[in-house]
Amino acid sequence: MASNEIIMGMAASTLGTPVADASDLTLGPSGTAYETVIGLEVHVELATKSKLFCSCANESGAEQNTHVCPACCGMPGMLPVTNKRVVELGMTAGMMLHCHINRTTTFDKKSYYYPDLPCSYQVTQWFAPICVNGSVHIETSKGGKDIRIKQIHMEEDAGKLVHSAWTNTTMVDFNRTSVPLCEIVSQPDMRSAEDVVAYLERLRALLRFAKVSECRFERGTMRCDVNLSVRPAGSDALGVRTEMKNMNSISAIERAIAYEVKRHIDAIETGSEELVQETRGWDDEKGVSFSMRNKETAADYRYFPDPNIMPVVIDDAWYASVEAALPDFPEVVRARYIDELGLSEYDADILSGSRACSDVFNAAYAVCGQAKETANWIISNCLGFLNRKQLTADELDIDGTALGKLIKLVADGTVSSANAKRILAALFDGETDPEAYAKRSGLIIGEGADDLVPGVIAKVLAANAADVEAYRGGREKALQPLIGKCMKELRGNCDPKALRQQIIDAINAG
Amino acid sequence: MYIALDDLILTKDLPTTGGSLMLKGYYSPFDAEVATRLTGAGHEITCKAAVGEFACDLLGETNFMGPTVDVDGNLCGGDIMVLMNNDAEAVVGLDVNGTPRRSAAVSNHICLKTSYGIVSRYGTIPLACSGESVYVTGVTSATCQDVLESIAGHDPKDGTSLPQERCVAAATPGEVPATVGVCRSLVEAAGPDVQARIQKVIAKLEARGVRVEWVDDSMLLAAKPAWNILMPAELCNNVSRYDGVKYGYRSQDYETIDELYTNSRTEAFGDVLKTVILFGSDVLFTHNYLAKYDRAMRMRRLVVERFQELFAQYDALLMPACSKLAFTPADVEADKFIAFQENLFTAPASISGLPALVAMGVQFMGPHGSDANLLRLSASLGACAWKEV
Amino acid sequence: MDKDSLKGLERLNQLALTPQQVDDTLAFFQLRQAEWDALAGIDTSDVERMVHVAPMETVVREDVVSEPFDRDELLEGAPDAMDGYWQVPYVLE
List chain C residues with CB under 8 Å of A73. 74, 86
Show the domain range for B113: 2-380
Please, what's the b/e burial string for B249-276 (b: 16 or more CB within 10 A of its CB; e: otherwise)? Answer: bbbeebeebebbbbbbbbbbbbbbbbbb
- Give the count of Cβ contacts less than 8 A between chain B and C: 147
Q: Is C26 on the interface with A (CB under 8 A)?
A: no
pLDDT score recorded for residue A440: 80
Q: If DSSP codes are grouped into helix, strand and coil, which group holds residue C87?
A: strand
Of the pLDDT bands very low, low, confident and very high (cuts 50, 70, 90), residue A19 is low
Closest chain C residue to A81 measured between Cα atoms? C60
| A:154-193 residues touching chain B, CB 8 A cutoff | 170, 172
Residues of chain B contacting A115 with CB distance shorter than 8 Å: 245, 257
Total structural domains within chain B: 1
Would an 8 Å CB–CB cutoff place B156 in contact with chain A? yes
Residue A296 confidence (pLDDT): 47
Q: What is the pLDDT of residues A271-316, one digit of tens each?
A: 888 999 999 999 999 999 999 876 445 689 999 999 999 999 999 9
Beta-carbon separation of B121 and A79 below 8 A? yes
Long-range contacts from B253-260, C-beta under 8 angstroms, 24+ separation: B254/C89, B255/C89, B256/C89, B257/A115, B257/A170, B257/C88, B257/C89, B257/C91, B258/C14, B259/C89, B260/C88, B260/C89
Which chains have at least 3 CB atom pairs separated by less than 8 Å from chain A?
B, C
Kindly state whether C71 is in contact with chain B, defined as any CB-CB distance less than 8 angstroms: no
The region that residue A34 occupies, defined by phi over 0 for left and psi between -120 and 50 for alpha, beta otherwise, is beta
Tens of pLDDT along chain B (389 residues)? 999 999 999 999 999 999 999 999 999 999 999 999 999 999 999 999 999 999 999 999 999 999 999 999 999 999 999 999 999 999 999 999 999 999 999 999 999 999 999 999 999 999 999 999 999 999 999 999 999 999 999 999 999 999 999 999 999 999 999 999 999 999 999 999 999 999 999 999 999 999 999 999 999 999 999 999 999 999 999 999 999 999 999 999 999 999 999 999 999 999 999 999 999 999 999 999 999 999 999 999 999 999 999 999 999 999 999 999 999 999 999 999 999 999 999 999 999 999 999 999 999 999 999 999 999 999 999 999 999 98
A82-83 and A312-313 strand pairing? unpaired
Does any domain span residue B385? no
Residue B209 forms contact with A (CB below 8 Å): no
Is residue B387 domain-resident?
A: no
**Amino acid symbol at A481:** P
Closest-CA distance of chain B to residue C81, Å: 9
Q: Using a CB-CB distance cutoff of 8 angstroms, which residues of chain B are in contact with residue A304?
A: 233-234, 237, 284, 289, 293
pLDDT of A395 over the 60 cut: yes
Q: How many CB atoms within 10 Å of residue B144?
A: 29
C12, C42, C49: residue with CB nearest B281 = C12
Inter-chain residue contact A68 with C69, CB threshold 8 Å: yes
Is the CB of A79 less than 8 angstroms away from the CB of B285? no
Which stretches does DSSP call E strand in chain B? 2-6, 44-49, 90-95, 110-113, 133-138, 179-183, 211-215, 316-320, 356-359, 362-365
In this complex, the residue of B222, B245, B368 whose CB is nearest that of residue C39 is B222
- pLDDT digits 0-9 by tens, B231-278: 999 999 999 999 999 999 999 999 999 999 999 999 999 999 999 999
Q: Find chain C residues with C-beta within 8 A of A313's C-beta.
A: 57-58
Residue B209 CA to residue A67 CA, distance in Å, equals: 61
Structure confidence at residue B206 (pLDDT): 98
* Burial zone of B86 (CB within 10 Å; 0-12 exposed, 13-18 middle, 19+ buried): exposed
3-state secondary structure B244-258: CCCCCCCCCCCCCHH
Contact B112, B91 (CB under 8 A): no
Smallest Cβ–Cβ distance between B278 and the set C25, C38, C69 belongs to: C25
- In DSSP notation, B270-284 reads -HHHHHHHHHHHHTT
Asked if the C-beta of A65 comes within 8 angstroms of chain B's C-beta atoms, the answer is no
Q: Which of B18, B240, B285 sits opposite A120 (nearest CB)?
A: B240
Distance CA B139, CA A224 (A): 61
Query: Testing the interface with B: which of A64, A75, A172, A301 to mutate, by most B Cβ within 10 A?
Result: A75
Q: Domain with B279 in it: what CATH number? A: 3.90.1300.10
d(CA A467, CA A456): 16
pLDDT band at A18 (very low <50, low <70, confident <90, very high): low
**Residue B323 DSSP one-character state:** S
- Contact (CB, 8 A) for B86 and B366: no
B389 within a domain of the structure (yes/no): no
**Contacting B residues, span 102-121, partner chain A, CB-CB under 8 Å:** 121
> Does C82 contact chain A (CB < 8 Å)?
yes
Contact C63 A67 (CB under 8 A): no
| Other beta carbons less than 10 A from residue A77's beta carbon | 22
Residue at B182: amino acid letter: V
- Closest by CA to A175, choosing from B134, C74, C31, is C74
Nearest CA in chain C to B278: C9
Measured CA to CA in angstroms, residue A280 lies from A283, A341, A458 at distances of 10, 50, 80
Phi then psi for residue A308, to 5 deg, are -85, -10
What does the buried/exposed string (b/e) look like for B46-78 if buried means 16 or more CB atoms within 10 Å of the residue's CB?
A: bebbbbbbbbbbbbbbbbbeebbeeeeebbbbb
> Which residues lie closer than 8 Å to B56 by C-beta, 6 or more apart?
B62, B96, B97, B235, B272, B273, B276, B339
- For residue A121, pLDDT beyond 70: yes
Query: By the 8 A CB rule, do B136 and B147 touch?
Result: yes
Does the beta-carbon distance from A77 to B241 stay under 8 Å? no
As a whole number of angstroms, the distance between CA A69 and CA A54 comes to: 8
Q: Is residue B117 part of a domain?
A: yes
Q: What percentage of chain C exceeds 90 in pLDDT?
A: 96
Please judge whether B126 and A308 are an interchain contact, meaning their C-beta atoms are less than 8 angstroms apart.
yes
Q: Do A76 and B10 touch (CB under 8 A)?
A: yes
- Mean pLDDT computed over A208-228: 95
Q: Does some domain include residue B183? A: yes
Could you tell me if B27 lies within 8 Å of chain A, comparing CB atoms?
Answer: no
Q: What is the pLDDT of residue A1?
A: 45
For chain A, where do the domains classified as CATH 1.10.10 start and end? 449-509
Selection from C64, B224, B88 nearest residue A54 by Cα: C64
User: B199: Cβ–Cβ under 8 A, 6 or more apart, which residues?
Assistant: none
Q: What is the mean pLDDT of residues C45-52?
A: 97
Residue A371: predicted pLDDT: 95
Handedness of CA A144, A150, A152, A156 (dihedral sign): negative
Strand partners, B92: B5, B136
Is the minimum CB–CB distance between B254 and chain A shorter than 8 Å? no
Q: Which residues of B touch A76 (CB under 8 A)?
A: 10, 18, 28, 125-126, 238, 241
Q: How confident is the model at residue A16 (pLDDT cuts 50, 70, 90)?
A: low
Percentage of chain A lying above the pLDDT 70 cut: 95
Predicted local confidence at residue A390, as pLDDT: 86
- Within an 8 Å CB–CB cutoff, is residue B26 touching chain C? yes
How far does the CA of residue A175 sit from the closest CA of chain B (Å)? 14
> A128-160, pLDDT tens digit by residue?
999 999 999 999 999 999 999 999 999 999 999
Q: Which of B271, B278, B337 to mutate to test the interface with C (most CBs of C within 10 A)?
A: B278
CATH class given for the domain over A449-509: mainly alpha
> Judged by CB atoms within 8 Å, which residues 7-66 of C form the interface with B?
9-10, 12-17, 21, 24-25, 28-29, 31-32, 35-36, 38-39, 42, 44, 47-54, 56, 59, 61
Q: How far is B83 from chain A (nearest CA, A)?
A: 25
ipTM over 0.95: yes
Q: Do A300 and C12 touch (CB under 8 A)?
A: yes
